[in-house]
Amino acid sequence: MSLFKKKNSTPLLIPNHIGIIMDGNGRWAKKRGMPRSMGHKKGADVFKSITRYCRDIGVKYLTVYAFSTENWKRSNEEVSGIMDLLREYLKDVKNYTKDNIRVKFIGDRSALDSDIVALMEETENDSVNFDAMTLNIALNYGGIPEIVNAVKSIVNYGVSVDNIDAALIKSYLYTKDEPDPDLIIRTGGEYRLSNFLTYQSAYSELYFTDVLWPDFKNEDIDKAVLAFSKRNRRFGDAK
């Protein structure tokens, strides 16, 4: 755990909830003259090791952006390659019961293949009692569709106007029982959230790095956590 070995004057504050926009797989592959699928493959390996590292340093919730509601615009070949990687991961994750990580999925499952949905449900059920960390995998996820669905449900249930407040809206989101992300990391050098945790990120600290996701290392988490530790989260106060 290199994080704790480093000598630095800032006391490290481990975020309770980290969100990661894992971007740059395609460019990583292109730089090497490889097909984009190779970037996704390497990216999946990095995802597995970073997940464990976050658990080891005491992060309690990790939400990773695996596939957005906009990513269907990509070629069939690329989309089916990503789905195949997901199948592989979901079959594999069963062997890692010792990881003690609870896995949940956020996003719209209705557009996903039924065998994938079955594997997702199995993974969620099998890991329900694991408590070292909760891993949310955002799959066919978009923050705006999430809010639209919440509004539809609220109207559908006939909730009276007087009862609608921020907590009520939150209770209709995928992350209803979870704290909002303290820190959102985006790799790949773009400065945007691309529909990730739109409602939940209202007061998140944002950290952008040029490192492409397949090159991302434990030390890059350390750098982000160190930067987070130096931030002054005022939440509108005058402190």
Q: Which residues 6+ apart lie within 8 Å of 134 measured at CB?
A: 60, 61, 62, 101, 102, 104, 178
Q: How far is it, in rounded angstroms, from Cα 72 to Cα 113?
A: 13
Of 136, 121, 10, 21, the closest CA to residue 70 belongs to 21
Residue selected from 3, 15, 17, 21 as contacting ligand IPE according to rule CB under 6 A? 21
Orientation angle between helical segments 76-92 and 114-126, nearest 10 degrees: 30
217: exposed, middle or buried (Cβ count in 10 Å: 0-12, 13-18, 19+): middle
Q: Quick check: 25 binds ligand IPE (CB under 6 A)?
A: yes
Q: Quick check: 136 binds ligand IPE (CB under 6 A)?
A: no
Residues of this chain, 50-69, that bind ligand IPE according to CB under 6 A: 65-68
Q: Considering CB distances under 5 to 8 angstroms, the limit depending on partner class, which of Mg ion, ligand IPE, none binds residue 66?
A: ligand IPE
The residue number whose beta carbon is nearest to Mg ion equals: 23
136 is catalytic: no
With CB under 6 A as the contact rule, which of the stretches 95-103, 105-113, 121-129, 190-198 interacts with ligand IPE?
190-198
Q: How far is it, in rounded angstroms, from Cα 16 to Cα 57?
A: 10
Secondary structure letter of residue 63 according to DSSP: E
Q: Which is nearer to ligand IPE, 79 or 227 (CB)?
A: 79
Beta bridge partners of 69: none
Q: Quick check: 207 binds ligand IPE (CB under 6 A)?
A: no
Q: Which is nearer to ligand IPE, 3 or 68 (CB)?
A: 68
Q: Which of these is catalytic: 25, 71, 136, 140?
A: 71
Residue selected from 3, 19, 22, 23 as contacting Mg ion according to rule CB under 5 A? 23
C-alpha 78 chain-centroid distance: 20
| Nearest distance, CB of residue 9 and ligand IPE, angstroms | 34
Q: Quick check: 210 binds ligand IPE (CB under 6 A)?
A: no
Q: How far is it, in rounded angstroms, from Cα 118 to Cα 34?
A: 32
Residues of this chain, 80-99, that bind ligand IPE according to CB under 6 A: 82
Residue environment code for 36-61, b if the CB has 16+ CB neighbours within 10 A, otherwise e: bbbbbbbbbebbeebbbbbbebebbb
Of 171, 199, 166, the closest CA to residue 184 belongs to 199
23 is catalytic: yes
Q: Which is nearer to ligand IPE, 87 or 233 (CB)?
A: 87
Which residues bind to ligand IPE, rule: CB under 6 A? 21-27, 65-68, 70-71, 82, 188, 190, 192, 194
- The residues carrying an active-site annotation are 23, 71
Which residues bind to Mg ion, rule: CB under 5 A? 23
